[in-house]
Amino acid sequence: MSDVKQSLQEKLEKLEKGLFLMSKDRIRALSTHEAKDLVEELRGVLAAAKTDAAKL
């Protein structure tokens, strides 16, 4: 797999994990602070994933 595809796959996995942590299926609820931090982190991951996708 190319480096760009591998990088994109890793970013998508981070997004998937982050969304799971905020879903109703999670083990424990996130605090407001944790949720805000996670959203900001996922926004960065999404921006990077969009950049990777543009390279394909």
The mean pLDDT of 31-55, rounded to a whole number, is: 96
* Whole-number CA gyration radius for the chain: 13
Give pLDDT tens digits for 1-34.
Answer: 689 999 999 999 999 999 999 999 998 999 999 9
pTM of the complete model: 0.86
Q: Indicate left, alpha or beta for 35 from its phi (over 0: left) and psi (-120 to 50: alpha).
A: alpha
**What integer pLDDT is reported at residue 56 of this predicted model?**
87
Residue 17 lies in domain:
3-55
Q: Which residue has the higher pLDDT, 37 or 2?
A: 37
Domain count for the chain: 1
pLDDT at 43 exceeding the cut of 80: yes
Query: Would you say 38 and 22 are in contact if contact means Cβ atoms under 8 Å apart?
Result: yes
